[in-house]
Amino acid sequence: MQFTVTQISEFLNGTIEGDLNVTVNALSKIEEGVEGSICFLSNPKYENYLYTTKASIVIVSESLILSDKTQATLIRVKDPYNAFTQLLQLYHAHVAQSNEKKGIEQPSFIHPSAKIGNNVYIAAFSYIDENVTIGDNCKIHTQTYIGAQASLANDCTIYSGVKIYHNSQIGNRVTIHSNTVIGSDGFGFAPNKDGSYTKIPQIGNVIIEDDVEIGANSTIDRATMGSTFIRKGAKLDNLIQIAHNVEVGENTVIAAQSGVAGSTKVGSNVILGGQVGVSGHITVAKGSQVGAQAGINSSITAENLKWHGSPAQPLSSWMKSSVILRKLPTLNNQITLLENKIKALEEALKKTIK
């Protein structure tokens, strides 16, 4: 598709600066821009590319002051990152519409008791168990399993290889990426006197609310009793483990390789960086921001604070500790020198006394 700079500017409610007749037909990164493409500048460290890029149009902040000439036509907006996101969404919607699949492919198995909504796509080699409910406009890609009594509301996209266990409940506009498992057994085993373990039946389920997106190869365990909750608007990256009876709050974001242990409550608008580990049976307060590889082993009760380190501590404390940690080799050498000086003084004092 080809768009004029005027069309794009009107769509983004921006201001044009440069050639009013330029057109584009592709999206690009600013450092890889080519003629006929549009890109954006949001991070100041990439500003030097603004003056060398071959892109035809660059979306920039309305407050940006140029330090050199640029060949590209500029569209000035309040938030370049958000504006470019809108363009990506428009492009994605167009591509999705062009490649939209419909109907029920064969071979696939759909139990006679399953209820299938309107305009649903079910790919070949999918298995839909008894009493499953699938809402309108859902897309179920190949080799997906949906267990008995599970339900999907409207406009869900389930990618290849996803396994949704029995009784799981999934809301509207939920996206689940390939090979993720929803509703697998929680990790519950009772120790016996002889050192063996007895499995504790996991009879609860998983409830995923509206507008959630879950990345590939993640696992969300069913509750021992009751439900494991992923609240509306939450975004989970790839390779994430959510244990039994966990509650992930509204609009919380969790980056890849993070894990949350059983019965922990993560508040709304929390950000967990990559490889964050959260212990079980604790709470993480609303608005907490936790840096990558941090370990949370006790409840965070104060809201809207930044945390880092393992065990996690307030960011300011962790930064001070990090400075000291980097100086440890130097401090160790200084201590060794002081010890040698003290030893020399002690020996000299002994000789003086004699």
CB 117 within 8 A of CB 132: no
CB 205 within 8 A of CB 168: yes
- In this prediction, residue 354 carries a pLDDT of 65
How many whole angstroms separate alpha carbon 287 and alpha carbon 270?
A: 5
How many whole angstroms separate alpha carbon 229 and alpha carbon 326?
A: 41
CB 184 within 8 A of CB 204: no
- In this prediction, residue 318 carries a pLDDT of 84
- In this prediction, residue 98 carries a pLDDT of 67
Q: What is the CATH number of domain 103-316?
A: 2.160.10.10
Q: How do the pLDDT tens digits run along the chain, 354 residues long?
A: 789 999 999 999 999 999 999 999 999 999 999 999 999 999 999 999 999 999 999 999 999 999 999 999 999 999 999 999 999 988 888 777 767 788 999 999 999 999 999 999 999 999 999 999 999 999 999 999 999 999 999 999 999 999 999 999 999 999 999 999 999 999 999 999 999 999 999 999 999 999 999 999 999 999 999 999 999 999 999 999 999 999 999 999 999 999 999 999 999 999 999 999 999 999 999 999 999 999 999 999 999 999 999 999 988 888 888 888 888 888 889 999 999 999 888 888 887 876
CB 204 within 8 A of CB 244: yes
Domain boundaries, the chain: 3-98, 103-316
Instruction: Please name the residues in contact with 175: beta carbons below 8 A apart, sequence gap of 6 or more.
Output: 156, 157, 159, 212, 213, 214
* DSSP H/E element including 336: helix 328-353
Give the angle 240-242-245 at the CA atoms, nearest 5°.
175
List of long-range contacts for 164-169, beta carbons under 8 Å, 24+ apart: 165/206, 165/222, 166/129, 166/205, 167/205, 167/222, 168/205, 168/206, 168/207, 168/208, 168/222, 169/205, 169/206, 169/207, 169/208
Q: How far is CA 345 from CA 196, 331, 332, 354, in A?
A: 62, 21, 20, 14
* DSSP H/E element including 198: strand 197-199
Peptide bond into 112 cis (omega under 30): no
- The class level of CATH for 3-98 reads alpha beta
Assign 224 to helix, strand or coil. Answer: coil
CB 224 within 8 A of CB 202: yes
Active-site residue set: 244
Would you state the structure tokens that stand for residue 10, as one six-digit string?
A: 């009107």
Place of tokens 């409830």: 207
Give the angle 99-164-159 at the CA atoms, nearest 5°.
20
